[in-house]
Amino acid sequence: MSEPAPGATRWIPLESNPDVLNSWCSKAGLITSEFEYSDIYGLDEDLLALVPQPVKAVILLLPLTDAIERKTQEEIAKIRREGQHHVDSSIIWIKQTIGNACGTMALLHAIINTNVPVIPDSPIAKFIIECRTLTPEARSHLLETTTLFSEIHSEVASAGQTAAPDANAKVDLHFTCFVKAPDPANPSVRRLIELDGRRDGPLDRGLCTDLLKDVARVVKEHYVDTAASVQFSMLALAPPPEF
């Protein structure tokens, strides 16, 4: 898939680290004493069972291998030709136009499209209110022009466990987000929705009966089995673990 247009704004990439993502969320306005990110250690059921419930969203960091890029382009082309299952209008999707901003995009998609608690008048609360009435392109422009998140992104990206790469560096890793939403044809049924700012819009991944297990299945079938790579990590937005 193509990078944002030449000359576009570029940010420092975020590290896939619960401490980094939770720092971002706390600064943005998520009440992290109630929901935070924790690592998902594997796709097997016994490892998924270690994740606190309820899981509200899952963020995946995936390698942009040639095989994954080809498969993604094939999915995009198929939807352009044939369409897909209608995605509920409550889903808010933002087009990614800022280079290396996929971490912030995934975090925004997760918080905006779930009912996790946020602090009134916080950056994320203000952004949610503005986004509701905007088109995906206008949301992108808002993200480009506001300092609400660029400053947060820059601060936490520089505070990870590893040295942050330069904003202009080519990074072959990408964040995407999974949430669930009502089926417009049957509101009592839930659908699994993937939110990736580099696609054309929200991607319906099928029925959703258990968010964590369904995401694990999709990640295995559509990404892990395709990639021939071990550069994957997953994090769940869920209540803090009890010790």
Task: Summarize pLDDT for 26-50 with one digit per residue, the tens.
Answer: 999 999 999 999 999 999 999 999 9
Is-catalytic flag, 208? no
13 within a domain of the structure (yes/no): no
Question: Per the structure, how many domains does the chain have?
Answer: 1
- DSSP string of 159-227, one letter each residue: TSSSPPPPTTS---EEEEEEEEEEETTEEEEEEEEEE-TTSSS-EEEEE-SSHHHHHHHHHIIIIIHHH
Q: Residue 113 maps to which CATH number?
A: 3.40.532.10
Is-catalytic flag, 85? no
- Contacts of 51 by beta carbon, 8 Å cutoff, 6+ apart: 38, 40, 212, 236, 238
What digits encode the pLDDT tens for the residues 206-233? Answer: 999 999 999 999 999 999 998 877 789 9
148 within a domain of the structure (yes/no): yes
5 within a domain of the structure (yes/no): no
Query: Among residues 102, 131, 177, 208, which one is catalytic?
Result: 102
6 within a domain of the structure (yes/no): no
Domain span at 107? 18-238
12 within a domain of the structure (yes/no): no
8 within a domain of the structure (yes/no): no
101 within a domain of the structure (yes/no): yes
Query: Among residues 174, 177, 208, 222, which one is catalytic?
Result: 174
2 within a domain of the structure (yes/no): no
What digits encode the pLDDT tens for the residues 125-172? Answer: 999 999 989 999 999 999 988 888 888 988 888 775 554 445 455 668
Distance CA 184, CA 179 (A): 15
Minimal CA–CA distance to 85: which of 232, 240, 226, 205? 205
